[in-house]
Each structure stands twice: as structure tokens, then as C-alpha cells.
């Protein structure tokens, strides 16, 4: 039976949603590896909307995370609250500020952050079942909330973000873009991608390795 992976998106566009390149690379790597995937996103309003041309917040504008994420998923997406975790073998969270603004409020609250309830419930079901999950870019900041203390992860080498994760109970490991960090006990894989100032090919190398490692864990390797 084909491995099926849930890809959790947080909108569309790295400043206020899912990082588009990281999301597409993830889906492409899954497809190339022969895995099936389904995009999911919470049906909720974004924290705010950012003009990606200027980098400025568009005051008074609102967008829906699920509706925006459908742009990346080519409409093939469902509300995470309606998804059945038992239908999936693994989960991957691409990055983008949406992971820290919409899926969680880490961008605002840091170590005092929380994870959006539907996302948290879905992810904790996988953690409890011992199914593998991959986290890209800033998405690993959610790991301490999902797994509790002492989970091993990386967001690259940013000292302030790493410090906040340590304060939350996570164990941060510095990591270059082409590599990934594995918590074997909890079956967590993380890679920095665009947390570092890199080229798309460099981000792709780490993400592809993460995808392949997650799929290996599904097969018990």
C-alpha cells in the first residue's frame, strides 16, 4: 500500500503563511519517492496579511489560512479539523512565518506560545501513535508543545529562536541547511531550510533528505 503523508500548510507566502518553495519542494520530494500526500490546513483567519512586494502589513485586510493554502495545494486540500489521522502514515510541516503566526503564535509569544487547537490535536495523535513527523524551517518551534520536554530538533543556528525553544523544553541542535536532525525515540525529523540565508537548491537538499528520512521511518528503518 502506498505511504500517505499529511502536509500541513499555514497559508500562502512566507511572510504570513506557508513558505511556497519549501511546500512545493516537500510535495515534489514525496511524489518522486512514490508516496501519496494530502494537504491540510486549519480553517481560520490569518494573524495578518503581508504585502509580499513591500514586506509591510496590509492594514484592514483579512485572509483565510485554508483558502490561501489551497493556492499551493492546487485546491486539493481539506480542513485539518475534518481530517482522520488514522488515514495517514506520517506528517510534514513546511515552514514560513505562517507556522509561527497561524499554526502557532510563536512569532508573537516566543517561549510563551501555544499551538492552534486543531493543529495541536492532529499532531499529538501522531505523536501518541509513534508515527514519524517532519518539520521544516520555523515549524520545529511547535515541537515542544506537541511532544513535551526533551524533544530534539533544529531551526538551524539562530540564537534567539534556539534560546526560546530551549526555554520551552526542547533540545536544540545547530544544523547546516543540507542536513537534518533526528529524534529517533520520538520519530521527529527537522531541517533549517530558509531559516538560513540560502539558495533554493540548498534548501531543497535538506528538505529532500528530511522527506526521505520520514518515509524510511514509516517503513521502520
Mean pLDDT of 7-34: 98
pLDDT digits (tens, 9 = 90+) for 94-115: 999 999 999 999 999 999 999 9
Would you report the helix, strand and coil content of the chain in percent, each value rounded to 5? 40, 20, 40
Q: Is the pLDDT of residue 47 over 80?
A: yes
Specify the pLDDT at position 220: 85
Q: Is the pLDDT of residue 41 over 80?
A: yes
pLDDT digits (tens, 9 = 90+) for 60-90: 999 999 999 999 999 999 999 999 999 999 9
Which pairs from 116-121 meet CB under 8 Å and 24+ separation? 116/42, 116/44, 118/42, 118/79, 118/80, 118/81, 119/8, 119/42, 119/80, 120/145, 120/146
Question: Structural domain tally of the chain?
Answer: 1
Q: Three-state DSSP class for 163?
A: helix
Q: Is the pLDDT of residue 219 over 90?
A: no
Which pLDDT band, with edges at 50, 70 and 90, does 1 fall under? confident
Residues 6+ apart with CB under 8 A from 64: 43, 44, 45, 46
What's the pTM value of the predicted model, to 2 decimals?
0.97
CATH of residue 122's domain is 3.40.50.880
Q: Is the dihedral of CA 199, 21, 92, 13 positive or negative?
A: positive
Share of the chain above pLDDT 70, in %: 100
Residues marked as catalytic: 137
Residue numbers of the domain that contains 154: 4-218
Amino acid at each position: 500500500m502506498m505511504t500517505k503523508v499529511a502536509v500541513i500548510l499555514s497559508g500562502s507566502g512566507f511572510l504570513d503563511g506557508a513558505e511556497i518553495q519549501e511546500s512545493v519542494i516537500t510535495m515534489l520530494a514525496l511524489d518522486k519517492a512514490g508516496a501519496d500526500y494530502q494537504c491540510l490546513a486549519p480553517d481560520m483567519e490569518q494573524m495578518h496579511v503581508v504585502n509580499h512586494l513591500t514586506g509591510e502589513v496590509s492594514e484592514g485586510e483579512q485572509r483565510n489560512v485554508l483558502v490561501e493554502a489551497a493556492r499551493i495545494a492546487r485546491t486539493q486540500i481539506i480542513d485539518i479539523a475534518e481530517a482522520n489521522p488514522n488515514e495517514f502514515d506520517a506528517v510534514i510541516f513546511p515552514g514560513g512565518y505562517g507556522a509561527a503566526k497561524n499554526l502557532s503564535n510563536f512569532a508573537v509569544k516566543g517561549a510563551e506560545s501555544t499551538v492552534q487547537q486543531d493543529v495541536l490535536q492532529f499532531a499529538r495523535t501522531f505523536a501518541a501513535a509513534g508515527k514519524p513527523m517532519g518539520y521544516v524551517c520555523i515549524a520545529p518551534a511547535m515541537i515542544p508543545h506537541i511532544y513535551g520536554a526533551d524533544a530534539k530538533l533544529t531551526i538551524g543556528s539562530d540564537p534567539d529562536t534556539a534560546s526560546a525553544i530551549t526555554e520551552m523544553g526542547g533540545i536544540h541542535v545547530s544544523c547546516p541547511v543540507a542536513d537534518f536532525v533526528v529524534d529517533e525515540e520520538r520519530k521527529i525529523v527537522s531541517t533549517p531550510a530558509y531559516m538560513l540565508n540560502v539558495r533554493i537548491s540548498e534548501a531543497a537538499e535538506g528538505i529532500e533528505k528530511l522527506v526521505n528520512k520520514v518515509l524510511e521511518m514509516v517503513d521502520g528503518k
